[in-house]
């Protein structure tokens, strides 16, 4: 049984990690324009998202050995 998908049924925004982008580039593309009141917060968000993309099954404490990495 074949499944056909019409392009009009596909989401217009890519909400999934593109396997062709490196995790760091993906995180920068997704969260680089976040306005969090301080650029360091945006940088931290990008680091967290990048690590989570690399290790999606780990918890936050497991992803970061020390707080200095976040």
pLDDT of residue 19: 58
CATH number reported for the structural domain that contains residue 31 in this entry: 1.10.246.40
pLDDT reading at 68 higher than 50: yes
Furthest-apart CA atoms within the chain: distance in Å: 52
CA–CA distance, 10 with 33 (Å, rounded to integer): 25
- Write the pLDDT tens digit of every residue in 27-56: 999 999 999 999 999 999 999 998 888 888
* Residue 29 belongs to domain spanning: 21-69
Q: pLDDT at position 56, please? A: 86
Number of domains in the chain: 1
> Is 14 a domain residue?
no
Q: Answer yes or no: is 33 within a domain.
A: yes
Residue 4 lies in a domain: no
Residue 50 lies in a domain: yes
Residue 24 has pLDDT above 80, yes or no: yes
| Structural contact between residues 47 and 55, judged by C-beta atoms closer than 8 angstroms | no
pTM: 0.62
Q: For the stretch 8-22, what's the b/e string if a residue is b when 16 or more beta carbons lie within 10 angstroms of its beta carbon?
A: eeeeeeeeeeeeeee
């Amino acid at each position: 049984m074949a499944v056909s998908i019409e392009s009009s049924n596909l989401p217009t925004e890519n909400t999934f990690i593109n396997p062709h982008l490196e995790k760091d580039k993906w995180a920068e593309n997704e969260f680089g324009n976040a306005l969090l009141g301080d650029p360091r917060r945006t940088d931290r968000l990008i680091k967290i998202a990048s690590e989570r993309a690399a290790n999606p099954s780990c918890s936050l404490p497991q992803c970061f050995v020390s707080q200095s990495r976040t």
